[in-house]
């Protein structure tokens, strides 16, 4: 190849190299521009991501705040709240539910509803609410507490739904009705006593006159029959029955008429000792063996009260305890004074009071044929109320009875 050809070839190579360098330079410049734009986009995305993170954190804080707010509401509610999922397991149990039922939250969570609560009416079951899709509003039922006692409640049940409208469970809200039931019983008792009051005077007059005649003629008959006549036993039975009827009429009149206590300083320790001796004498006469335990302080216990009414009250209380015992048993009486209050606690191991009778124990003639219905506790309650005291009775069938009295000293 000639020198001219070689020179032209070099010139072409140099030109190609120059073009390549120029192309590479242009590509580099374009890449730098693109990289700059990409950096701007990344920076912009980082800013947007940072804003989104701030919004998310703010949303999470709001959600936590709302959750805490709702938790505080549920915690502060006086009504019990229970949430049950579609598998019938308890998923939420607030503080009021713990207090009302006696069960702790940890013991019931993730356990089936029926492990703790079984309403008599199956329409009140959570699964029935899920099946029917209908809510229950302001119905009444009984809940068996952890200690075995029955608690009357007013309750409502409705479906729980997700944001998408899907069923996720049932929520039950319930509140204690025991105080309302207590007031209802007191109103019923007042109405009963009012009705007795309207008729007691007339009944006492109409019945006591013929009873007096029966008692008088019975006494004459007993005298005329003479000593040793076997028919005298029948006459004595008649006279005993007349005496019992007269006592019942006297108690009716006592319950019906208004009474103002004649209060004076009373030594409870002396009175209780006297009554205990009387009761022990009577029980020995009846053939019962009673172990009577006294827990009295060494000092006198005094308060302002009507002696006759208190004596009547304690006699009824002791007789009820003795009657609840079979052939033998134990009665414990405790007397204490703390500051300005006097407490009397009587415990026996008798047959106790069945559940169906507990709501009406202070009503006149409450009970059944086997329980000798009468007026004893009605009279006790009236005397306690006249002295502005407190009476509580805790009793279980076949497990005995604990009676609690509380009075102010003055």
Q: Which runs of consecutive H residues, i.e. helices, occur in 77-118? A: 95-101, 105-108
Q: Give, for 137, the enclosing helix (H) or strand (E).
A: strand 136-144
Pick the closest to residue 201 from 267, 145, 254, 241 (CA basis).
254
User: Which DSSP symbol is given to 246?
Assistant: H
pLDDT tens sequence across 222-275: 778 777 778 878 878 888 888 777 777 777 777 777 788 899 999 999 999 988
Q: Give, for 67, the enclosing helix (H) or strand (E).
A: helix 3-76
The secondary structure of 48-61 as a DSSP string is HHHHHHHHHHHHHH
Here the tokens at position 56 are: 């998310």
Here the tokens at position 103 are: 């069960």
pTM for this one? 0.54
How many Å apart are CA 321 and CA 305, to the nearest integer? 23
- Please state the rounded mean pLDDT for residues 389-408: 89
CA distances from 178 to 1, 78, 184, 268 (A): 123, 14, 10, 33
Query: Which value, to the nearest 10 degrees, does the dihedral of the CA atoms of residues 243, 320, 390, 259 take?
Result: 0
Torsion sign over Cα 68, 73, 77, 81: negative
Instruction: Report the DSSP pairing between strands 328-338 and 289-295.
Output: parallel
pLDDT tens sequence across 103-148: 998 999 999 998 898 888 888 888 888 888 888 888 889 988 988 8
pLDDT tens sequence across 178-234: 888 878 877 777 777 666 666 666 667 677 777 777 878 788 877 787 777 788 788
> Helix axis angle, 307-324 relative to 268-286, nearest 10°?
40
Task: Count Cβ atoms below 10 Å from residue 80 Cβ, excluding itself.
Answer: 23
Burial of 404 (0-12, 13-18, 19+ CB in 10 A): middle
């Amino acid at each position: 190849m000639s020198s001219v050809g070689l020179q032209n070839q070099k010139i072409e190579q140099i030109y190609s190299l120059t073009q390549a360098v120029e192309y590479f330079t242009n590509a580099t410049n374009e890449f730098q521009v693109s990289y700059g734009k990409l950096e701007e986009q990344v920076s912009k995305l980082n800013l947007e991501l940072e804003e989104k993170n701030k919004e998310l954190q703010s949303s999470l804080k709001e959600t936590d705040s709302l959750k805490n707010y709702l938790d505080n509401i549920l915690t502060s509610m006086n009504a019990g709240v229970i949430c049950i999922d579609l598998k019938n397991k308890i998923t939420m149990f607030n503080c009021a539910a713990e207090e009302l039922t006696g069960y702790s939250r940890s013991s019931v969570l993730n356990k089936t509803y029926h492990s703790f609560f079984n309403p008599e009416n199956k329409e009140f079951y959570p699964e029935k609410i899920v099946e029917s899709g209908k809510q229950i509003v302001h119905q009444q039922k009984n809940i068996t507490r952890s200690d075995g006692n029955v608690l009357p409640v007013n309750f409502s049940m409705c479906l729980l739904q997700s944001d998408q409208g899907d069923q996720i469970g049932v929520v039950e809200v319930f509140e204690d009705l025991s105080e309302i039931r207590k007031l209802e019983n007191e109103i019923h008792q007042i109405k009963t006593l009012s009705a007795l009051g309207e008729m007691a005077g007339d009944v006492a007059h109409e019945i006591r006159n013929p009873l007096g005649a029966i008692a008088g003629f019975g006494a004459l008959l007993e005298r005329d029959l003479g000593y040793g006549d076997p028919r005298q036993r029948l006459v004595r039975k008649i006279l005993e029955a007349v005496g019992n009827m007269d006592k019942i009429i006297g108690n009716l009149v006592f319950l019906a008429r208004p009474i103002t206590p004649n209060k004076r300083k009373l030594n409870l320790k002396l009175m209780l000792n006297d009554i205990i001796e009387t009761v022990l004498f009577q029980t020995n006469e009846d053939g019962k063996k009673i172990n009577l335990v006294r827990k009295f302080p060494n000092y006198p216990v005094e308060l302002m009260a009507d002696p006759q009414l208190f004596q009547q009250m304690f006699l009824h209380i002791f007789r009820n305890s003795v009657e609840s015992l079979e052939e033998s048993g134990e009665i414990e009486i405790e007397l204490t004074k703390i500051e300005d209050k006097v407490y009397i606690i009587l415990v026996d191991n008798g047959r106790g009071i069945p559940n169906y009778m507990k709501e009406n124990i202070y009503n006149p003639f409450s009970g059944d044929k086997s329980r000798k219905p009468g007026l004893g506790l009605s009279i006790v309650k009236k005397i306690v109320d006249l002295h502005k005291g407190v009476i509580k009775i805790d009793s279980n069938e076949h497990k005995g009875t604990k009676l609690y009295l509380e009075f102010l000293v003055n």
